[in-house]
Amino acid sequence: LLAGASTLPAAAAGNTREAERLLADMRRDLAPVENQIRNHPYLTALENGQVPISNLRAFAGEQYNIIASDLRSAAQLTARYGAEPSGAFFNGIIGSEVIARDYIIRFAAALGWTEEDLKAYEPNPRAQTYPSYVTWMSVHASDGQVAAAYAVNFAVFGENLGRMGAALRDKYGLSAEDTAYFDFFAVLPPDFEPTALSILQADLDGCADVRQIKRTARLLQAYELDFWDAVAAN
């Protein structure tokens, strides 16, 4: 999945009220699935120290594959929109993915796995529906669709990883350095959502299809839930 970082540009000046209303509507519509993600039994099991190390290794393996895919998707979006204001937004995500890759390798090392082990790991197909759809988005979706979907999705993913990092330190004895991957995602930069709203507003000003924007976010959030279901089953 994609990380927030200080490389994101500041939001462009302008009125984003229409984008703000749309994003609020989308969050309200998607609240049921977001609650399923936020209250997933996997998190409860981890916070109770009930997730075995073998499963945590699988989690690292899934994320390693997701990062590799999402990095290429961000590069594709940057290539598509490099001459547009949104290009800097997507380029910033590339830098974030590079950092996240280093952090997931560090987490795996704390579990006794090398990068070769991560490369050899066979991913669960259901855990990879999310990056597969991000790849589709990178080719077919507008920049506003992508920005809106990320604005809806990143917050709940970050919240879950923040809980995971705390549980791994509390119940599994891992260090802050070992769990840097989770802390990296836990809090989005303050300019992330304003920038996403500016991109969405520009798309709306260009007569974007609101139905497609909502659909993209709905599917991405459903695939996020797929990921948590899959890692719980691994």
| Residue among 44, 165, 52 at smallest CA distance from 104 | 165
Residues 6+ apart with CB under 8 A from 95: 5, 7
Q: What region does 205 belong to: left with phi over 0, alpha with psi -120 to 50, or beta?
A: alpha
The answer to pTM > 0.75 is: yes
Q: pLDDT of the chain along its 234 residues, tens only?
A: 444 333 444 444 479 999 999 999 999 999 999 999 999 999 999 999 999 999 999 999 999 999 999 999 999 999 999 999 999 999 999 999 999 999 999 999 999 999 999 999 999 999 999 999 999 999 999 999 999 999 999 999 999 999 999 999 999 999 999 999 999 999 999 999 999 999 999 999 999 999 999 999 999 999 999 999 999 999
Cα–Cα distance measured from residue 231 to residue 127, given in angstroms and rounded to the nearest whole number: 7
Largest alpha-carbon pair distance within the chain? 52
Token pair listed for 187 = 């809090």
Q: Structural domain boundaries of the chain?
A: 17-233
Cα–Cα distance measured from residue 101 to residue 67, given in angstroms and rounded to the nearest whole number: 6
Cα–Cα distance measured from residue 131 to residue 70, given in angstroms and rounded to the nearest whole number: 6
The reported pLDDT for the residue numbered 8 is 41
The reported pLDDT for the residue numbered 6 is 36
Cα–Cα distance measured from residue 64 to residue 68, given in angstroms and rounded to the nearest whole number: 6
**3 state DSSP class of 120:** helix
In residues, how long is the chain? 234
Q: Among 2.120.10.30, 3.30.360.10, 3.30.200.20, 1.20.910.10, what is the CATH number of 17-233?
A: 1.20.910.10
